[in-house]
């Protein structure tokens, strides 16, 4: 929320405040009492926050919060058509779909001959970010651990 104040006066530095003066009693012209209280509380919060972190950390935090959304890990499913076990696996993965991008590779296509030779008797097979994760059935415990580890490292 942004507050626009008319005729903004400079904020007094601490040295300019006389003994007994209080920021709450120094009002900007044209600002209502509620706006002034909100403005002062936001300044106090910002100062408190800045004092906790070095300048570089604050810049990184701001950059991360305004940068592009976090890229999700890629879960690759090696499959073929028909594959009832693959269909069952996709149903088990449904509650986790917001935590990864699912990429399906049909091993029966000519360009995937290497994967066909490797996994023709073992589908469904799962890789997470290009590394083998599991085969035959979805192991939700293992999936949870690996996704948590990736989320923690990001």
101 vs 41, more confident? 101
Contact 99, 147 (CB under 8 A): yes
Reported pTM: 0.55
* pLDDT tens figures, 42-77: 655 555 455 554 544 444 444 444 444 568 999 999
- Taking the domains of the chain in order of start, what are their residue ranges? 14-66, 74-153
Q: Is 46 helix (H, G, I), strand (E, B) or coil?
A: helix
| The pLDDT of residue 23 | 47
* pLDDT tens figures, 86-113: 999 999 999 999 999 999 999 999 999 9
CA distance 153 to 77: 23
Give all strands of the β-sheet with 101-106 in edge-to-edge order.
101-106, 74-79, 125-128, 131-135
96 vs 24, more confident? 96
**Residue in 3, 1, 7 with CA at minimum distance from that of residue 36:** 3
* CATH (residue range 74-153): 3.40.30.10
List CB contacts of 100: < 8 A, sequence separation 6 or more. 72, 73, 74, 75, 128, 147
Over range 114-140, report the average pLDDT: 94
Record the tokens describing residue 121, joined without a space. Answer: 């008797």
**pLDDT tier for residue 17 given thresholds of 50, 70 and 90:** very low
């Amino acid at each position: 929320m942004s507050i626009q104040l008319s005729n903004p006066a400079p904020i007094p530095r601490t040295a300019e405040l006389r003994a007994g003066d209080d920021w709450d009693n120094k009002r900007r012209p044209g600002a209502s009492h509620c706006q002034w209280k909100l403005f002062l509380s936001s300044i106090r919060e910002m100062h408190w926050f800045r004092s906790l972190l070095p300048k570089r950390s604050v810049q990184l935090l701001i950059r991360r919060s305004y940068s592009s959304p976090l890229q999700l890990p890629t879960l690759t499913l090696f499959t073929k058509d028909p594959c009832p076990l693959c269909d069952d696996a996709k149903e088990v993965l449904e509650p986790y779909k917001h935590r990864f991008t699912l990429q399906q590779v049909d091993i029966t296509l000519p360009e995937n001959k290497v994967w066909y030779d490797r996994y023709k008797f073992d589908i469904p097979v799962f890789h997470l970010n290009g590394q083998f994760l599991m085969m035959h059935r979805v192991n939700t415990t293992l999936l949870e651990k690996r996704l948590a580890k990736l989320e923690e490292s990001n």
